[in-house]
């Protein structure tokens, strides 16, 4: 793992590293002082490249980084940190963005858990409104922008009460002439919030519904104090995901249904877009259509499972019938054997 930057290091003759903030497997984030704008501080994200990458790979990675960074720099939304600069120095790539003060939602959730409390549903829904606004803005860009790492630790609540969706380390740009996306920055997301299709990495079929899954998993965690089972575990054992209301009996049926719909395993079974999820989660429409959607999807999955395993189920049924017949006939067989022995 590359060495961290020293406090006092000046990048691009402008950004003076003032404090280390955090570190991940593919980079680090620092608080820096802008030497050109007196009094301004900013967050600098440093991206590391695999040591196994060859010269051609390094050139492609840097080209992709600059392509994505230029897209991020054009984004302007109150619930997203503003990217103001990007550059390469000493074979490392850097993003400069607004420093977002405040606590992330993971910290707030852990504080509530420490008090043996749940975060109030209405408070979480107020946060969700702002997250949905940010995602809708990202998804309606040309080309659409995917975040791919939505989780409580990547959502900050500022002292003024504004939600900021931070850490663009996994943003992807959807290519218009292909039904797939092209990865630009390294990373794979966090297991509990990552949909199954995203496990394919760069070749995975991801779209806006991948972010919808991650948001559903995030809301599940915030409202239950328990991270949901990851998608791989759910694929192998479909009933491993506990209903949110089982963990938080105060949860409203509408919110539970919307979360489970967002967390459907197959992308086609999730809400088609952020607007649809907002309608299910926050509107005053009757609950029945939302619940019906989830029920229909569950029934469809069961039907698919039965169809794919028809021969196995038939064999099990025949064995059960044989066992039942043997059980019913056993008294008569015993009597016949006893009568035969008497002779």
Q: What residues are labeled active site?
A: 149
Contacts of 196 by beta carbon, 8 Å cutoff, 6+ apart: 231, 232, 234, 235, 265
Alpha-helical runs (H) found in the chain: 55-74, 105-114, 121-139, 208-224, 231-236, 244-247, 253-262, 274-282, 288-308, 310-342
Give the separation between CA 198 and CA 187, rounded to whole angstroms. 11
Residue with tokens 């086609």: 268
Closest C-alpha among 186, 189, 206, 203 to residue 62: 186
The verdict on whether omega for the bond into residue 143 sits within 30 degrees of 0, i.e. cis, is yes
Looking up tokens 């998993």 gives 217
Nearest to 69 by CA among 80, 84, 55: 84
């Amino acid at each position: 793992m590359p060495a961290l930057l020293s406090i006092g290091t000046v990048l691009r003759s402008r950004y003076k590293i003032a404090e280390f903030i955090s570190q991940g497997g593919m980079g680090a984030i620092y608080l820096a002082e802008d030497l050109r704008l007196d009094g301004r501080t900013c967050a600098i994200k440093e991206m590391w490249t695999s040591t196994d990458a060859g010269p051609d790979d390094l050139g492609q990675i840097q080209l992709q980084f600059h392509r994505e960074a230029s897209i991020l720099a054009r984004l302007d939304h109150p619930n997203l940190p503003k990217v103001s600069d990007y550059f390469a120095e000493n074979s490392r790539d850097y993003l400069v963005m607004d420093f977002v003060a405040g606590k992330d939602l993971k910290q707030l959730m852990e504080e509530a858990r420490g008090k043996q409390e749940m975060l109030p549903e209405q408070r979480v829904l107020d946060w969700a409104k702002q997250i949905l606004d940010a995602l809708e803005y990202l998804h309606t860009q040309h080309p659409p922008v995917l975040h791919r790492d939505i989780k409580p630790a990547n959502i900050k609540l500022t002292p003024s009460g504004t939600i900021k969706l931070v850490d663009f380390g996994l943003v992807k740009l959807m290519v218009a002439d292909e039904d797939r996306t092209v990865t630009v920055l390294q990373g794979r997301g966090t297991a509990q919030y990552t949909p199954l299709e995203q496990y394919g990495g760069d070749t995975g079929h991801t779209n806006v519904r991948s972010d919808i899954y991650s948001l559903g998993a995030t809301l599940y965690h915030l409202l239950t104090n328990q991270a949901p089972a990851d998608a791989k575990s759910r694929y192998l054992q479909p009933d491993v995901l506990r209903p949110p209301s089982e963990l938080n009996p105060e949860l409203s049926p509408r919110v539970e249904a919307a979360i489970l719909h967002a967390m459907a395993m197959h992308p086609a079974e999730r809400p088609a877009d952020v607007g649809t999820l907002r309608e299910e989660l926050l509107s005053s429409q009757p609950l029945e259509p939302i619940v019906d959607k989830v029920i229909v999807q569950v029934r469809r999955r069961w039907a698919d499972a039965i169809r794919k395993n028809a021969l196995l189920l038939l064999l099990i049924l025949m064995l059960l019938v044989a066992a039942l017949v043997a059980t019913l006939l056993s008294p008569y067989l015993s009597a016949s054997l006893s009568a035969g022995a008497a002779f």
